[in-house]
Amino acid sequence: MPTSRRDFLRFSASALIAAAAGSGYASAVAAQQGAETLPAARDPELHFLNRITYGPRPEEVERIRQIGVEAYLDEQLHPDSVDDSAMDERLRQFPILFMDRRTVHILGTDGRVWFALIRGMIERAAASRRQLYERMVEFWTDHFNVSGDDYVPDMVLMHREVIRRHALGKFRDLVIGTAQHPAMLYYLDQAYSDKEHPNENYARELLELHTLGVDGGYSEEDVKEAARALTGWTVHDGTETGFFFDAEMHDFDDKFILGHEMPEGRGIEDGLHLISIVANHPSTARFVCRKLCVRFVSDNPPESLVESAAQVFRETGGEIAPVLRHILLSAEFQASAGQKLRRPLEFFVGAIRATGTTVRDDWFYLSLLEDLAQVPYQWSPPNGYPDVAGAWLGSSSLLARWNTAMTLTHGAYSEQDTGMTTQLRQRLGSPESIGQMVDAVAAQVFGVPLPQAERAQFVAYASDGGDEQAAATPRVISDKLGTLYGLMLASPLYQWK
C-alpha cells in the first residue's frame, strides 16, 4: 500500500509552513526601501513582464513595446496561439512526461520519473514562450499541492492531465480533476476513507485549502459530513484513470453540508454534489481570487481588487482566464511594481533564463534547488509553497540565492564536471568599455537599463573602482564577467519585482 503524505513537514524548510501564513510580517516587508526607484515603477510594460514571466527576455521586451500590454496579455491568455515548437523540441529529452498511464506506472518510483517531473517543469518555465501559462501551471501546482515518494507516476499524470490541461480553463475542472486523481487520493488519504471510519484529511483540505478557505464559513461538522459524502472515492488500477467509486466503502445515509441537504441513498453523486457546492461557493471566489492577487500583485492585495476579481469569477462561473485578465489590467496591479519578492524557484528559473544555462547532470540540478529550499513537488504539507516575502527572507535563504547566482555564472570556472554550460559570452556582444559591458549584462538580467546608483556600483566592481570608459579588454571580461552577472542576480534589485 502506498504510504501517505506522512512526511508532513519533514524538510528543512518546515518552519516555512508557519512563516507562510499571516500578514503582519509580510506587510512590513512589502514596503521595501526604494520600490519607487525600481525601473519597473516607471515602466508599465516592464512591470507587466516581470510579473507574468519568469524574468523578461530581450525579445519579450521588444514584442511588448510593439503591441502593448493588452494585446500581449491576450496572446498569453491563448497559449495555443503562441508558437512553442522550440519548446516541444526540447521536451523530447523527457519522454516520461508523455507516457500513457500504464507505461509510466511500469517505471514506478524510479528516480528518472522524479527528474522528468521536476526538470520538465523547470525547463518549461525557463524556455516556453507561453510564460503566463507556465506561471499559472506553477500556481495551481501549489494550490493543489501533492507530494510523496510512492506515487510519483500519478503526480506526472496529474500534472499533465489536470493541472496543465485546465491551468487557464475552469476552476471547477481543476477541483474535480484533482479530487478524482490517484495522486491526490493517495496524498490526502482519501483512497482509504470508508463509511466505518471516514478519513477527514482530504475533505478538510478541500474546504480549507482548495475552495472556501479556512475563514470561508464552514464548521467542523461540515468537515465531517464532507468526509462522509466522499467515502468510496478511491483508486483502482483497473479503471482508465485510476479513479474508482467503491460503493461498498460509501456511506449512503443522508448528509447536511454547508446548508445543503443530501438525501439518503445516493452514491458518487454525494461527492459530485459536494464539489459543485464548494466550487460555486462565494467564499471560494474570494479565496481563489485573493490567492491569485497575492501571486500576481502584492502580498497584501487591495480588498477592492480581490472583490472585483471575485465578481468576475462568480459571473463567469469560475473561468480563470477572464479573472486573470481583470487582475492584470487593473489599476491596483499597475501600482504594485516592486512589491513582490521573487520566490526561490522564480529566482532560479529567472537566473537560468538570464544566463542561458543548461545543466546535464540531474543531481547537480537538484542540489541547486535544494539549497534554495524550493524543489518542485517536494513541499510535504498540502498548502503549497508559500507565496509571501516574509516566508523567504531568512538569512540561509538569502545566502543560498547569492551562492546559486555565483554557481550559475561560474560554470566555466568550476572544476567539477557538472555538465553545465552558460551563454554569458555569447550574449555579451562586443562591448568596448566597462560601461557597455555592464549595460549588456543588465539587458540580459533585467531587460532594461539599470538605475544610475546601481549602475555605478556594478561599474565600480567591473573596473576595480575605475570608470566606465575603461576598456573592456579580453582579460577584464575573462576576470569579471561571471561575477558581474552573479552580482546582478544576487542584488536586491533582482530579488524584488
Partner 1 sequence: MPTRRDFLRGAGALGAVGVSKSFFPAWMPRLAFRQASQASRGDVLVAIFLRGGIDGLSVVVPYGDGAHYYDARPTQAVAEPGSGSNAALDLDGYFGFHPAFAPLIDIYQGGALGVVHATGSIDPSRSHFDAMQFMEYGTPGSKTTGTGWIGRHLQTASWQNDSPFRAVGMGAMSPASLRGATPLSLRSIADFHLRGREGELLRAQQSLMQLYSVSAPQDALQSQAGLVFETIDLLQALNAVTYQPTNGAVYPEDEEGFGMGLRQIAQLIKANVGLEVACLDLGGWDTHENQGTHDGYFQSQLSVLAQGLSAFYADMQDLMPGVTVVTMSEFGRRVAENGSAGTDHGHGNFMLVMGGGAQGGRVYADWPTLAPEALNDGDLAITTDYRDVLAEILTHRLNNPALDQIFPNFTPTARGIVTAR
Site for partner 1 in 339-358 (CB under 8 A): 341
Q: Which of 16, 121, 275, 278 binds partner 1 (CB under 8 A)?
A: 16
Task: Find the shortest distance in angstroms from Cβ 42 to partner 1.
Answer: 20
Site for partner 1 in 270-299 (CB under 8 A): none
Other CB atoms within a 10 A radius of the CB of residue 326 amount to 20
391 near partner 1, rule: CB under 8 A: yes
SS3 416: coil
The DSSP line for 266-321 is -SHHHHHHHHHHHHT-HHHHHHHHHHHHHHHT-SS--HHHHHHHHHHHHHTTSBHH
Look up residue 48 and give its amino acid: F
Q: Which of 67, 106, 214, 471 binds partner 1 (CB under 8 A)?
A: 214
For residue 446, count CB atoms less than 10 angstroms from its CB and return exposed for 0-12, middle for 13-18, buried for 19 or more. buried
268 near partner 1, rule: CB under 8 A: no
Task: Find the shortest distance in angstroms from Cβ 76 to partner 1.
Answer: 29
Q: Mask of contacts with partner 1, 162-201, x by CB under 8 A?
A: ---------------------------x--xxx-xxxxxx
Per the listing, cell 507562510 goes with 20
Site for partner 1 in 84-123 (CB under 8 A): 111, 114-115
487 near partner 1, rule: CB under 8 A: yes
Spatial CA neighbour of 161 closest among 84, 241, 244, 260: 241
406 near partner 1, rule: CB under 8 A: yes
Contact 366, 121 (CB under 8 A): no
397 near partner 1, rule: CB under 8 A: yes
Dihedral sign computed on CA atoms, order 79, 174, 98, 8: positive
- Cα distance between residue 148 and residue 146, in whole Å: 7
Residue number with CB closer to partner 1 (73 or 152): 152
Interacting span for partner 1 (CB under 8 A) from 128-136, 174-182, 272-280, 366-374: 366-374
Residue 94: DSSP 8-state: -
421 near partner 1, rule: CB under 8 A: no
Task: Find the shortest distance in angstroms from Cβ 136 to partner 1.
Answer: 23
Site for partner 1 in 444-483 (CB under 8 A): 454, 457-458, 460-461, 464, 479-480, 482-483
Site for partner 1 in 28-47 (CB under 8 A): 28-29, 31-34
Contact 52, 75 (CB under 8 A): no
For residue 417, count CB atoms less than 10 angstroms from its CB and return exposed for 0-12, middle for 13-18, buried for 19 or more. exposed
- Cα distance between residue 182 and residue 283, in whole Å: 27
Residue number with CB closer to partner 1 (276 or 418): 418
Residue number with CB closer to partner 1 (15 or 86): 15
Task: Find the shortest distance in angstroms from Cβ 66 to partner 1.
Answer: 33
Residue number with CB closer to partner 1 (87 or 406): 406
Tally of CA atoms within 13 A in the half-sphere of 315 that contains its CB: 10
Task: Find the shortest distance in angstroms from Cβ 74 to partner 1.
Answer: 35
Size of the site for partner 1 (CB under 8 A): 104
Cell numbers for 17, please give them.
509552513
